[in-house]
Structure 1
């Protein structure tokens, strides 16, 4: 639920009336004694204290993207009078239902561009991490994680944000191109992220954060977003470092304007707002008006089957991220980048065992050909023989995870390091005993997920606000990972007490920190991650 921008003001002002009468602004006087009362550039907010520190939830950073602002560049939030209560998460942006806790129902609310701030108590200016959530650019919210303990343990301020998703965040169309300043539409979700970063730059000092030491971080689609922001000239100066967790998939590729406009035309037709990608100006304008008149529920129902992703070719993203990185045109900032050892098992489970139809040996060759095409599928069949895996599903999962996540992450390490201007640190989360995330723990209790997609998140934060069921060894690994991430946020090489430091890829190419529990060998520097994931095959395939 959204909260009134003046909610709670009367009670607070009445309580402070005597102070105001003495000649000081009431809120300012109270802020000297109450660290949960903070003035932002738009108005006062009151958060709350927790055993981990302070938290301020549901602060708007942009105007609601409704009406004519649907599919428009986000505009800064307007000011409010009095004190805004900031103790509850805001709405998730428009998205469908999922198994995840609290996400069982879809949401159709477009008024969602808010952020959350977690700030430890105490004085001094602290490094800042801005977290971009995952969810395939079609789902998720800043409330997916609760990083309050992480913020306290690392001595940092953490900000999590919402941004527009799916068709609401990434629709490109001829009529929208004509409205865009650079003639390229379809990047609204990414522009939301940049506006949130600008809010952080303007306001975070009031929460104890250092605006000159901002790291943008994310997992899965959030990591892909970081990869995209690294390549965006309009993001320059908004952060000093980046963390990419399982986000290099597809080499962070964006859509071309032509492909995006064609998809937009097909989407419009699906909603009964027909117009070709090359429609006349008046027809294109009519199409956009028709789309803006559709309820969010219809937009969400129609978006299935389309690729919602950023669009290259304009001022926001002149080049493909991989091209910008390889040619030295990406931001020259330190990067911490990695993936999980068994990324593909989550996706394979969803396609097969989770549907009650485990992949069979007989169907395995065709599954590879369907996933990678006939020629590459045949090569994969030779490199991933069933004899090397406990089941056909896990064999398929290994191929998918290597091609989709593991090898693109290593390629990104090499490309970033080749520029030589900023350090690059590589990790692989390899705790194969890690519990799968909350929504599939019971449903998939007989499936071996290993160290699959998303699993590392719960070692850093409360995932969906839930305590993570870690054993003693996993808790130890969790503490070490928090130290690695925290030291990076503070500007050093990622380190943990008594553990090997992550190596800078510029001087130690191919050396990846493998994050494992003590009984599995502990954290070690590996030089064989690329070989283990058969990256010679997938690198050659990616090169064409």
Structure 2
């Protein structure tokens, strides 16, 4: 990865205070003469970007498993912000190992109060002047199955994206709560929230989806304050990878249901994920809550208040460790009727969601990698190599009826899906179908039925090429798997030595699409739901007629069926 010199970046935020961040300037290596091997390193005169790290966007809740709170109106910033955010307690992960406990370094960063963000601000080079209204803003939500992940990309990683690649946007990466800390829900927590809301008149009683509420607080902070950092609050793109892309969809959906005066999102980027299915109801979350308590030896016979008191007293290490042992291991979204509309999927199928997008002129960039399954199959794979074990594991993420329909369709008569050798490998393919390959196609088809123009309102892509620097993160035999295209979007993403000069030319077009999309510029795209802009394995670009379209739409129809009007109203 290229080297950068760091220097102080004082920033006057007016009524918000005065802080110091970093300015990152590329270093150059020069040789003293053509006959000498002596070289020296010096800084370029043109900075790549400025960095602000670990800036609070919210204050912690009064109790664990409750919603965070907005910063008070009188909050002022002062001091140096050149570090990173805290890290929500979480399990470890490595694509090279199914079991990878969190490191000591990660544990040192653990905090339930991880409500901070990192920010990169373009440095106005002579050929890249700041627009009069401010830089467009790209809020990136990290991935990690909603169970782990970090916003702490090293400052230098994005310096090339803003400097050499010339993204021309403020990039904001918020930390948010994940796993049980971010998505635990139960009747006990609901009753507590209702009691506190009654005691504090005007407070909204909500339970679950805490990670999504954290993300929304960060977005609201950006909408209110980004102008002080050189950004334009009227041009906010929200994007994410994997679970971050699913989060992006949920943020977009929540935003669209709000009055237009509260809307923040202009464009959305969903890299390798999307809407999924209607999230589970509270009854399913209650089953998971009860299993969690039993695994922690907290008697279910206790009063609701005592259960929560005992749960909040559990050491962080124990609460993270036990999640790996649960049958219902994945903590995910709740159809709560507050953050997640209970008619969300029905509204997508009816065309209402598309109509809301068109009304607010919201556009979406969405796509996939060729071999998503290789990574997906590596996260908490089934305990046994059987059909039932595979189905049970998928049901930890998705409602069981939808999982059963998926498996009956893709595994007829209980047979392995085509091209898989066992149920462990099949799990990765089935997971990838639900997360990416099938449901993103069904989503696009539903948007098209609702009046969105595919090629204008929705841009689709496919990646079949892999940069060499990906070898530092993913086994080469996994091919163009989930996450390898981060080297494209984030200009090497800080892996190994980054992109070679030849590779930069290969990814230049897609990187340019990314930049123009974030800046709100028009992107020339082929019309039609089946047409996908593809980066081939040989590094060439073409238009690909989607070979998986019919299968994907059929899977969507199976797991997200169109409901009759009376049935939809009951959701």
Q: Where do 1:92-111 residues align within 5 Å?
A: 92-99=87-94, 104-105=103-104, 106-107=106-107, 108-111=110-113
- How far apart in 2 are the matches of 1:183 and 1:395? 41
Deviation at 1:46, TM superposition (A): 1.2
Candidates 501, 521, 524, aligned match of 2:542: 524
- The one of 247, 259, 266 equivalent to 1:240 is 266
Normalization by structure 2: what TM-score?
0.74
- 1:220 CA drift (Å): 0.4
Is residue 2:460 matched to residue 1:420? Answer: no
Aligned partners of 1:102, 1:466: CA distance in 2, in Å? 22
Q: Is the 8 A contact 1:170 1:186 kept in 2?
A: yes
The 3-state SS of whatever aligns with 1:239 is: coil
Name the counterpart of 1:163. 176
2:23 is the alignment partner of 1:49 = yes
Count residues in correspondence.
478
**2:307 corresponds to 1:274:** no
Normalized against structure 1, the TM-score is what?
0.77
Q: Does 1:147 align with 2:151?
A: no
SS at structure 2 position matched to 1:228: helix
Q: In the alignment, is the contact (CA less than 8 A) between 2:250 and 2:275 conserved in 1?
A: no
1:302-349 CA distances to partner (integer Å, 9 max, x unpaired)?
333332111113221222543333331475111111111110122346
Is 1:74 the counterpart of 2:103? The answer is no
1:204-283 paired onto structure 2 within 5 Å: 204-232=226-254, 233-234=257-258, 237-248=263-274, 250-251=276-277, 253-275=278-300, 283=303
Correspondences of 1:25-64 after superposition (within 5 Å): 36-39=10-13, 42-51=16-25, 52-64=48-60
SS at match of 1:143: coil
| Matched-pair contact (CA < 8 Å) for 1:94–1:296 | yes
Q: What corresponds to 1:290 in structure 2?
A: 310
The aligned residue for residue 172 of structure 1 is: 185
Contact 2:20/2:79 (CA < 8 Å) preserved in 1? Answer: yes
CA 1:365–1:96 in 2, change beyond 3 Å: closer, same or farther?
closer
Deviations 1:481-502 (CA, angstroms, capped at 9, x unpaired): 22101111122343xxxxxx33
Paired with 1:84 and 1:424, the residues of 2 have a C-alpha distance of: 43
- Contact in 2 for aligned 1:48/1:54 (Cα 8 Å): yes
- Tell me which moved more, 363-372 or 240-249: 363-372
- Please say which of residues 202-211 and 410-419 is displaced more in the overlay: 410-419
* Alpha-carbon distance between aligned partners in 2 of 1:222 and 1:155, rounded to the nearest angstrom: 22
Q: CA deviation at 1:35?
A: 5.7
Matched, 1:512 2:514: no
**Aligned mates of 1:460, 1:261 — CA distance in 2:** 39
Q: Please list every run of 5 or more consecutive structure 2 residues that lacks an aligned counterpart in the other structure.
A: 1-7, 26-47, 125-129, 195-202, 395-402, 562-571
Residue 430 (1) aligns with residue 463 (2) = yes
Q: Which runs of 5+ in 1 are unaligned?
A: 1-33, 495-500
Distance 1:329 1:131, change over 3 A: same
Give the equivalent residue in structure 2 for 1:84. Answer: 79
For the residue of structure 1 that corresponds to 2:69, the secondary structure is: coil
Per the TM alignment, residue 144 of structure 1 is displaced from its structure 2 partner at its CA by 4.0
Match of 1:127 among 128, 133, 136: 136
- Find the aligned partners of 2:556 and 2:181 in 1 and give their Cα distance: 34
In structure 2, C-alpha distance between the alignment counterparts of 1:208 and 1:191, rounded to whole Å: 25
Q: Distance in 1 between matches of 2:522 and 2:337?
A: 34
Structure 2 contact 469–497 (Cα < 8 Å) conserved: no
Inter-partner Cα distance in structure 2 for 1:148 and 1:400: 34
Q: Does 1:138 align with 2:134?
A: no
Distance 2:70 2:85 in 1: 17
CA distance in structure 2 between the aligned counterparts of 1:470 and 1:526, rounded to whole angstroms: 25
Superposed displacement of residue 73, structure 1: 1.8
Partner secondary structure for residue 138 of structure 1: coil
Rounded to whole Å, the distance in 2 between the matches of 1:485 and 1:80 is 34
Cα distance change, pair 92–207 in 1 and its aligned pair in 2 (3 A): same
Equivalent pair of 2:390/2:423 in contact (CA under 8 Å): no
Equivalent residues of 1:215, 1:241 under 8 A apart: yes
Tell me which moved more, 145-154 or 161-170: 145-154
Aligned mates of 1:102, 1:298 — CA distance in 2: 12
> What residue in structure 2 maps to residue 22 of structure 1?
none
- Greater shift, 432-441 or 172-181, is seen at 432-441
Q: Is the 8 A contact 1:436 1:452 kept in 2?
A: no
Provide, for residues 58-80 of structure 1, a one-character-per-residue CA deviation record: whole Å limited to 9, x for no partner. 10111134xx3322221123566
Separation in 2, partners of 1:82, 1:313: 35
In structure 2, what is the Cα distance between the partners aligned to 1:57 and 1:214? 20
Cα deviation for residue 529 of structure 1 reads 3.7
Deviates more, 1:232-241 or 1:211-220: 232-241
SS state at 1:218 partner: strand
CA RMSD of aligned residues (A): 3.6
Q: Which SS does the other structure have where 2:51 is aligned?
A: strand
Once the two structures are superposed, what CA deviation does each residue of 1:105-164 show, in whole Å capped at 9, x if it has no partner?
Answer: 443421311101111123431110000000011111111474333234121111011001
Paired residues of 2:16 and 2:77 also in contact (CA < 8 A): no
The equivalent residue for 1:7 is none
Contact kept in structure 2, 1:184 and 1:257, CA below 8 Å:
no
Q: How does 1:452-463 map to 2 (within 5 A)?
A: 452-461=481-490
Query: How far off is 1:200 after superposition?
Result: 0.3
Compute the displacement of 1:54 (Å). Answer: 0.6
